[in-house]
Structure 1
Amino acid sequence: MHRTNYEFVIPLTRTELAIRLRCAKDDLTSVRFVYFSRYRSPSTALTQPLQIAYRDAYTDDYRAILKFDSPARFLCYYFELTDQDHRKIYLSEYGFSDGVPEDGFFEYQYTNENDCVRPPDWAKGIVYYQIFPDRFYRSLNQKNRDDYRDWDEKPSLDDYWGGDLPGITERLPWISALGVDCIYLNPIFHAECNHKYATTDYFTIDPDFGTMADFHAFVAKAHSFGIRVVLDGVFNHSSRKFHPFMDFLARREASEYFRWFLPVDRGEGGEILTYEAFADRAHMPKLNTDYRPVRDFVIEVMLFWLREGKIDGWRLDVADEVQLTTWSEVRRAVKAEFPEAILIAETWRDASRYLTQGDKFDTAMNYAFREAARDFFANRRIGAAAFSSRINHMLSSYADVTNQVMFNLLDSHDTPRFLYDAGNDRRRHRLAVGFQMTFVGSPSIFYGDEVGLSGGPDPDCRRGMIWDASRQDQETLVLYKKLIALRKCEPALRFGSFKTVFTQEPGVFVYQRDFGNVSILCAVNNSDAEAAISPPESLRKGILHDLMTGEDIETPSLSSKILIAPMTLRILK
């Protein structure tokens, strides 16, 4: 399959195109991209081989990057395919043929600067740390309430624990020592509810968390540690106490904000009886993001915090319920002034419509990654082959440059803790962390994961951070630090390509990360029995070094085997 759209022809820069073709698994032995200028004869055509980048249970995803001396434009092209019977088949816009096409070529017209899929370079392979502010750390600053729950108490829906911005600032050395590159904060603007997803004032800090001065101090200190800051923007809906909504309720059609919201007419005579709300929750009325003044307001808020708050980007809540064209306008406005700001979409399923055209988001919260890891590591619903298929299918959904910045989470404020999903089996959690930290993309840590914080579905997943060292899981903490340090000193683990080497049921999954002339082999044994694997021929160089244990392993021949203990990850270079 191939079409001349952003899924299959991806401008990376004005002079680089990523080309893709998908076919049934094992259907083809080679794929060649044949191209020439629209204004030249087909006899001047050049060719570029495509290689299999990802393979799931049913499809092969062939890819290549074409580089040009000038902006890519006016390209005519077709594909030369070779099947398992060594027969050549040609694919053009007219479909398949047995002979070289004479017309009906695919055409790529022109590369504009803003068409390029180009996330910020700094975001490639970074480590995020997500904080739910009320539950992270309670400072000694004067508080906004006097009814806080005990810190170690089990969470409830409506109560407060007293975590605040000065508390996060105080604990920045902890986050820095972990090796984190970027903090993602759940909402901090003035809002209803302890989660702050019902915003009443988008331009002020909620007094539960502190003041604007506290926020500036936090950002400045985070930046001094080399840690970037991403805020949570809630623009799909607001709060009942949001001034425009209060005016809408009070004055109805006479309100200047009438079209900011989505009234639902359920009575005779056109009387407004109710309004659309997020998840049908009355305290979170849905904003009409198809209305120009609302779009302008969203852009105003985002630029305000980038300018005045000195933040480094946004995570946009419920991105898939906001009018799609709103995000294109948001991106143009933000990137015009802050080209290095990161834009992260919250969506729980395939995010292609937000990421493939380079005109909306840079990345998305990758819940497909979480679900595959949960099913393989935590509850073992699937075996190694099915896990490999799901991971490769996920990678095949996006351009490689997008995969490098995908927000790969094991859990969040909206899910059970991964440790809880694993039945509180710390070995399964640690093995999943090992995979997360050696996989392509940008791993995210939900505060407390690094010290063994557990918890079931919301609100139980939002427990208070464990600060008592005697109650922290020190083995897991050491593992996080070691794996993050490896990502920083081994470019192949942060920037390298990914490919499955082989699988062995029930739980052996071997994959390779390549960057330049460096290859690293990662072998997961998610089973209760020892496993033995043979390294690929490219890595049979005499000695492999285990980056986790420091052990040197001799691999002189095809018969050489590497042993992997149960519930273990080996990282071999």
Structure 2
Amino acid sequence: QPVQEADLWLTKLNEDPVAYPMNYNDETQKYETQVRVGSSGLYNYYFAIKQNNQMFYVDQGLFGQGRLRQDDHNLKQYQLICYERKVPQVDWYDQGVVYQIFPDRFANGNPYGEVTGRKKNSFLYATEEDTPYYIKNSRGEITRWDFFGGNLAGIRKKLPYLKKLGVNTIYLNPIFLATSNHRYDTVDYMKIDPMLGDEDDLRGLIHDLHQNGMHLLLDGVFNHVGQESIYFQEAIKDKSSHYYSWFNFINYPEKYQSWWGVSSLPEVNKSNPEYQDFIYGDHGVLAKWMKDQVDGWRLDVADELPMDFLRNIRNRLMKENCQVMIGEVWEDASDKFVNSEYRPYTFGDNLTGVMNYPVRNFIVGLLTSENSDAEIALMNKLALLVEHYPTNFLRNCLNNIGTHDTVRIKTALQNDEKLVLLAFGLMFMLPGVPCIYYGDEAGLIGDKDPDNRRFFPWGRESRSLIAQVSKWINVRKQNPVLVKSKIGFLHIATGINAIVRYDEKVIMVYCINKNKAETVLAKENFAFYCLPKTIAEEVAAELDQTKLSGEDSILRKIPRKANIG
């Protein structure tokens, strides 16, 4: 029966839906319409079709395929982001590879391993091989912080290792004066923690990085401070202190708003103009450290910072000619809500990218799944993320297979180093900037915090794994298609899957077999997703009848035979 009506129903967040009639195009043999939205925002849409006086609805099925429905209840609508402006693409960043360092746990560069700036009521481990642990009281509060003695001088001393590995950017967990080893409990934003060194050590590190064509990202913790911070201590001593208004006291001075109720992390009032000026004013924290030519920032718990606060941080960094501002957001950042308020992170006027934890979820899930349905569902979820993010924002996201907040990748994969290598390969194949958590490339293990923060295993590294990770870094450097291209997926059987990246000139396909047994790839078993037919055919021709060993992979680079639009 002929279609009587076809409409696109478009809804902007917090506004009423609007219907746009669609007309049949004889040339394309499709129903089409043009929509011009009036402003940036989060939009959702679906299609309504009238045929034989009966209504049908088309919403989003697997991998974006249209799904025909006979009712409009609980439609899974398509999502569309209209953003303010493109986030900048910084070549050294989006074409590079980042290496995350937890400063206390990487290397000690002092003569004879001396530990300087020791803290009261803390303890030092006897050897670098010791396993981290916490000393807690009956309430579960940490009473003595533990340290290994890693410092900025140690990082500087190990730059030859990092350069040989191939990374071009270091991301440091917090380095400002604090009480704990993680330093997310800032005591003084204007001072380097003396256990790590001083400002000269930071300048020396930055100088050496830049001399080697490398860059530095610092961790900004602006949602909360430490209980021992100079700001909070002044506030609880005297209500007349100008720091008093920086905090939200419930029952002064004992009870106050803190990060997730953790009393050692008093939350700062980000709407306080004085605090705002202190962070991003002309003489504030960001301005001070940017004078030392820091290259970018990662913002801790960005989803707890008000949007105007984020925008003003971005404005300050732009004034300092700094274009990299990555936020800690664990979910899909395109449709994130905090306290029922939409957070427009992808609009281009605040964050330039986020910590891409969904990538880790995809990789670990794919390597530990037990059935095809679960693997296809993981691919679909990642495909949605790729579709939701503006292109430049996606390319700026910091991909990881582990951080200081997750179980080590080797531990997550049952200490199977072959699977760890597959995990690295998947990370390097996906859109975004790969970020290696220190020691993961060396085979370091570790369960939940604090076990995932062991000291780097100098002298006990997995040389073979380091060599393979270094090869992957070189593959990315030599193949722009892994930076600027489209992505598709291939499922062959349980445990056998592939990532496909392609542009107008080349296709790269990475196929993994996480199973123990060898397999022979047969094109009749290939199920392609999010790929044009021509690309799928070329990949199928390349891989058909290829032997793939157990817990192994193949990487193929295929020159294009046919261009696509």
- Normalising by structure 1, report the TM-score: 0.75
* Maintained 8 Å contact 1:128/1:183: yes
Amino acid at match of 2:364: R
2-structure distance, mates of 1:564, 1:138: 43
**What per-residue deviation string (whole Å, max 9, x for no partner) do you get for residues 226-253 of structure 1?**
111000011010122222211210112x
Aligned partner of 1:349 among 317, 325, 331: 331
Preserved CA contact (<8 Å) 2:172 2:218: yes
Alpha-carbon contact 1:383-1:506 (below 8 Å) kept = no
Give 1:297's aligned residue. 278
Aligned twin of 1:215: 202
**2:155 match: secondary structure:** helix
Question: Which residue identity does 2:223 align to in structure 1?
Answer: N
Residue equivalent to 1:44: none
Paired AA for residue 154 in structure 1:
T
Matches within 5 A, 1:258-269: 258-265=244-251
Cα offset for 1:180?
0.6
**Shift, 1:406, TM fit:** 1.1
Aligned to 2:187: 200
Matching residue of 1:98: none
C-alpha distance in structure 2 between counterparts of 1:239 and 1:283, whole Å = 6
Q: Cα offset for 1:387?
A: 2.3
CA distance, structure 2, for counterparts of residue 395 and residue 431 of structure 1: 21
**Residue identity matched to 1:241:** E
Q: CA deviation at 1:327?
A: 0.5
**Which letter maps to 2:61?**
Y
Distance 1:459 1:302, change over 3 A: same
The residue that corresponds to 1:362 in the other structure is 352
Whether 1:58 aligns to 2:34 is no
Aligned counterpart, 1:143: 115
1:561 alignment counterpart: 545
Matched residue, 1:398: 389
For 1:395-434, list aligned pairs within 5 A.
Answer: 395-434=386-425
2:238 is matched with which residue: 227, 239, 251? 251
| 2:213 is equivalent to residue 226 of structure 1 | yes
1:507 and 2:495 matched: yes
Partner of 2:20: none
- Mapping of residues 139-538 of structure 1, within 5 Å: 139-141=109-111, 142-144=114-116, 148-149=124-125, 150-157=127-134, 158-252=145-239, 254-265=240-251, 273-300=254-281, 301-338=284-321, 340-352=322-334, 353-378=343-368, 383-468=374-459, 471-500=460-489, 502-529=490-517, 530-534=519-523, 538=534
Q: What's the CA shift for 1:305? A: 4.5
SS of residue in 1 equivalent to 2:311:
helix
Deviations 1:319-346 (A, max 9, x none): 11122221012112221331x4300101
> Could you tell me how far apart the structure 2 residues matched to 1:455 and 1:205 are?
28
- The equivalent of 1:120 in structure 2 is 90
Shift, 1:302, TM fit: 4.6
Summarize the Cα distance change of 1:408–1:398 in structure 2 as closer, same or farther, 3 Å threshold. same
> What's the offset of the Cα at 1:203?
1.2
CA contact (8 A) 2:176 2:192 kept: yes
Cα distance change, pair 512–280 in 1 and its aligned pair in 2 (3 A): same
Contact 1:383–1:505 (CA<8 Å) still a contact in 2?
no
Distance 1:460 1:403, change over 3 A: same
Letter in 1 for 2:351: F
The secondary structure found in structure 2 opposite 1:395 is helix
Kept in 2: contact 1:237–1:278 (CA 8 A): yes
Is 127-136 or 487-496 further displaced after alignment?
A: 487-496
1:406 and 1:442 in contact (8 A); partners too? yes
Looking at structure 2, the residues matched to 441 and 416 of structure 1 have their Cα atoms a distance apart, in angstroms, of 21
SS at match of 1:237: coil
Give the drift of 1:402. Answer: 1.4
Contact 1:533 1:563 in 2 (8 A): no
**Deviation, structure 1 residue 283:** 1.8
Please state how far the C-alpha of 1:136 moved relative to its aligned partner.
Answer: 0.2
Deviations 1:130-166 (A, max 9, x none): 0001010012245325753111100123211010001
Q: How far, CA to CA, are the matches of 1:475 and 1:342 in structure 2?
A: 33
The CA distance in 2 between the partners of 1:299 and 1:563, in whole Å, is 57
In structure 2, relative to structure 1, the CA distance for the partners of 1:521 and 1:454 (3 Å cut) is: same
Structure 2 residue identity aligned to 1:499: G
Structure 2 CA distance, aligned partners of 1:192 and 1:489? 43
**Letter in structure 2 aligned against 1:144:** T
CA RMSD of aligned residues (A): 3.2
Please tell me whether the aligned partners of residues 429 and 499 of structure 2 are also in contact (alpha carbons under 8 angstroms): no
Once the two structures are superposed, residues 483-508 of structure 1 have per-residue CA deviations (whole angstroms, 9 ceiling, x without a partner) of 110000011122221112x3123112
Q: Which residue of 1 aligns with 2:56?
A: none
Deviations 1:513-542 (A, max 9, x none): 113311112212222231414388746999
Q: How many residues in Structure 1 have an aligned counterpart in Structure 2?
A: 471
**Letter paired with 2:130:** E
1: CA distance between counterparts of 2:60 and 2:447? 32
* Alpha-carbon distance, 1:209 to partner: 0.4
Structure 1 Cα separation of the partners of residues 363 and 397 of structure 2: 15
Q: Which runs of 5+ in 1 are unaligned?
A: 8-27, 39-55, 63-81, 85-94, 96-105, 266-270, 545-553
C-alpha distance after superposition, 1:13-69 (max 9, x if no partner): xxxxxxxxxxxxxxx99575636899xxxxxxxxxxxxxxxxx9825559xxxxxxx
Which residue number in structure 1 is paired with residue 41 of structure 2? none
Contact persistence 2:61–2:67 (CA under 8 A) = no
Which residue type is aligned with residue 210 of structure 2?
A: H
Taking the aligned partners of 2:350 and 2:185, their CA distance within structure 1 comes to 24
1:516 partner letter: E
CA distance in 2, matches of 1:202, 1:33: 54
